[in-house]
Structure 1
Amino acid sequence: MIVKQDCLRGESMTENGLCSLWSGIRATYGMNQGRIAYQIKIRRHVHCPELLNNEIPFGIRIGWSVDGNKFCLGKQSLSYGYEQSGKFWTKNQFGWYGEQYSIGDIITCYADFESEPGNVLLSFAKNDLNFNLAYRINYKDLYFRPLFPHIFIKNLSFQVNFGQLNIKYPLRSGFHFINNYHEDERIRGILQPSSKEECEVIMMVGLPAAGKSLWIERHCAIYTDKKYVILSTNNIIKQMNTNVFGNARRRKMSLFDGYFRRAVVVIPNNNEYERRRHQQQIEQDKFTPDLFINEMKTKFDLPEVGDVFDDVEYAELAFREARDLVMYYRQQSQIVEEILRKNNKRKRKDNHWIHSKKNNQKSNQFNDNRNDHNIQLSFRHKNSSSQSYSKQHHYHFRRRHMNHN
């Protein structure tokens, strides 16, 4: 998502296939008291030339979430979104609510912490049309955490009003824009790092099904305060990058120059690895061909400190054991490659022999269909008279035999 300089406007990025992805953004300030509101105007569709024909081209969800939740609004608990289709989403479930909305509409989002003691009431309005209650949150579920305005879009442009802009549709009685509350009443979200040196990037290194996804999910769950964002094709096409090739690692890490760059290598013992591959195939219906795994084993290159990394951690096998196993992988892979090379060479020879035999058979059939005189002339032209007689006799016999059948 591109956020404009005033931080009140944003739009989807659509180049290079990004038009198939949703993107989310959360406001800087949230609240856990009062009767608060904000408005958003859906401005226009963003051109997306690479969109697939059968794909939903545009979408938006507007609502609230707690800080630390994923940016996919409505996918988790404590994440609430009103969609342009007229659905209300939370906990990855939806119910029909309100009306559909589209380009030019202004949606108002309300959160009421006061009307019902112990509960937070969420509701919405489309232009000047107010809708009924969308969701009731038990205040204890929030653990005093504030709710933040949250927007989730696909191929759209929007403008948000927290109270800085003139309004076309007034708020309900008793509600106020977040920006109109005193700064002491508002709660600041986690501040962004002041420099790259305060940031950390972790690259997972290991073969498919080695356990990289599980490690990073557990790590993120433990260190929630670090606000890790998982950059992986696993979140897009459900396939985790392996990063076993040194050149690929260096290219990717060059984008994070100035960060604290860390590699986590996940290499289980061979029996455990094969068990995990089998388990992944059964549970996730994901299968990586042996030939592809063999190629990766051949080129597996362990990362080192100084090789674009400030730190290298081995999550399972220690460095020496991992190094020995990678060397074993390479040796076995080279043996497999040599066997495949010999088999391919043998197949080419066999195919050549079969091809030659077929050509000879075709040639013989062609010669058999010619008259005897032409056959005799042909052989006399190339061979001695005695050879000509014997081969001529052979062809005469074959022709009579064929005619007899």
Structure 2
Amino acid sequence: MASKKHPLGASGTNEAPPGKRGKLETPSASKPKVALNPFDCNLDFSIESDGISGSALHNEGFAYCWSGARANFGIRGGKYCFGCRVIENQPVVMEDTAKEQQNLCRVGLSKGESDVGSLGESMSSFGYGGTGKFSHRGNFTTYGGPFGAGDTIICAVDLENPSHATISFAKNGRWLGVGMEFDAGPRGLGITGAGDYKNALFPHILLKNVKIRMMLSIDHGLQPLQGYKAWDAAILDGNAVRGPEAAANCEIIMMVGLPGSGKTTWAEKWCKEHPEKRYMVLGTNLALDQMKVPGLMRKKNYGERFERLMDRATKIFNKLIERASKTSRNFIIDQTNVYRSARIRKLKPFKNFCKTAVVVFPDPEELKRRTCARAQEMGKEVPQEAVNEMLANFLLPNTKDSLNSVEPFDEVCIILIYFFKQSYILPYVLPYASNT
């Protein structure tokens, strides 16, 4: 990787000559507080009362999960830096995982629109990880050496020349060089210029079984690199963009339907068509993604390992549902949910949410086609006796205002999917139709 003139002085350490350190900005009482964003993190990520310390759940299956969080202010210009100190490793039991893979941290930057759980794995994020790798778009290259508990990483980004923007790092005061030069302009990431948080770069942390403390201002102990300002200085400079905030009138959509009926496809498309809602889809797929085993089903990787993973994923899902009900965000529960008792139980904690049931109902020929395709893709099909049991107990959800209703739904939408034809929605609740 290219190594430009480093901002730590000729020695490459923090013992830089006088006047060569970054400018220390004077704190301002009127300046908003820069901290980790509770509305832009994974559900299992916990932010402490100081706003800058964080860790994730690490018991049982959560020990295998990566968990991410972004700061509440991003930038779209200038030269700024922030720091992250790995405070300690969390004790975990992971007999099937190498020791060096059990407690990890990745530090970097990402656009506000990118997946908070995939730092360095998307085209709009960059990360430096504890295994000594720099990552971008899922490509991992050797950089900087490993780091862990007790180490401090500083991440610096230069957007002054958008077409030749750079991201660099320092470890324990030692300049590591430029991690990557990239195009932040209109033909690249589109960071600069007007726009909301989706087009700004944010400090981003991704961790597994460690506790961290962010340094986003000099008040946090950050010593800016030469030529760079502390991250919070972007607010007074007019280069800062506030990240997503609490959702107003929180919604939860519950998918209802047999395996292979198209629930996940509908949910994913609904999310894409309504990005302003920032829906989080809750299901076992989310847990598998956090364990970094996405697409497991498509690999036909069944047997004992698959059963262990699914058992972990189910327990993770149950815990995330509990935490979701206490978070001001919008959610979609993507499971079969054909049993009325299960629907009532899952939605009970979501008292103040607007609740919608979306029932996906293919005709028999379409369901048969989808089931066969799903079995071919996954290498395993849902046993017919299990499907028959679901059918025998399948009760359509009712709104809470319906006669003798015991369910909590404010609205119910039924989607009828016909073989190679357009879907139809009954009765009229969600103005959406999906081509199949």
Tell me which interval the TM-score lies in, with the shorter structure as reference length. 0.7 to 0.9
1:301 aligns with 2:395: yes
TM-score, normalised by the number of residues in structure 2: 0.68
The alignment partner of 2:412 has SS state of strand
Correspondence 1:14-29 to 2 at 5 A: 14-29=58-73
Structure 2 counterpart of 1:95, which letter? T
> Counterparts of 2:88 and 2:123 in 1: how far apart (Å)?
30
Structure 2 counterpart of 1:54, which letter? T
Conserved? CA contact 1:82–1:88, under 8 Å:
yes
The Cα shift of 1:15 comes to: 2.9
The Cα shift of 1:107 comes to: 0.2
Structure number with the higher strand fraction is 2
Q: 1:226-257 CA deviation, whole Å, 9 max, x = no partner?
A: 11111111222467621111111111111211
Structure number with the higher helix fraction is 1
The Cα shift of 1:278 comes to: 0.9
RCO higher in structure (CA 8 A, sep ≥6): 2
Distance change (3 Å), C-alpha of 1:117 and 1:213: closer
Structure 1 counterpart of 2:414, which letter? Y
Structure 1 counterpart of 2:355, which letter? R
Conserved? CA contact 1:68–1:227, under 8 Å:
no
**In the alignment, which residue of structure 2 is the partner of 1:206?**
257
> Counterparts of 2:416 and 2:134 in 1: how far apart (Å)?
43
Structure 1 counterpart of 2:46, which letter? I
> Counterparts of 2:162 and 2:49 in 1: how far apart (Å)?
39
Report the count of equivalent residues: 315
The Cα shift of 1:48 comes to: 2.5
Structure 2 counterpart of 1:136, which letter? E
The alignment partner of 2:357 has SS state of strand
The alignment partner of 1:230 has SS state of strand
The Cα shift of 1:312 comes to: 1.1
**In the alignment, which residue of structure 2 is the partner of 1:63?**
108
The Cα shift of 1:93 comes to: 2.4
TM-score, normalised by the number of residues in structure 1: 0.73
Conserved? CA contact 2:63–2:92, under 8 Å:
yes
Correspondence 1:23-62 to 2 at 5 A: 23-49=67-93, 51-54=94-97, 56-62=101-107
**In the alignment, which residue of structure 1 is the partner of 2:170?**
125
Conserved? CA contact 1:68–1:224, under 8 Å:
no
1:234 aligns with 2:318: no
The Cα shift of 1:164 comes to: 4.2
> Counterparts of 1:200 and 1:52 in 2: how far apart (Å)?
39
Aligned with residue 171 of structure 1, among 179, 199, 224: 224
Conserved? CA contact 2:79–2:159, under 8 Å:
yes
The alignment partner of 2:211 has SS state of strand
> Counterparts of 2:349 and 2:218 in 1: how far apart (Å)?
36
- The structure whose Rg is larger is 1
> Counterparts of 1:319 and 1:62 in 2: how far apart (Å)?
45
Conserved? CA contact 2:78–2:239, under 8 Å:
no
Conserved? CA contact 2:132–2:142, under 8 Å:
yes
Aligned identity (percent) is 30
The Cα shift of 1:47 comes to: 2.1
**In the alignment, which residue of structure 2 is the partner of 1:103?**
149
The two structures, once aligned, show a CA RMSD in angstroms of 2.0
Structure 1 counterpart of 2:80, which letter? I
1:271 aligns with 2:318: no
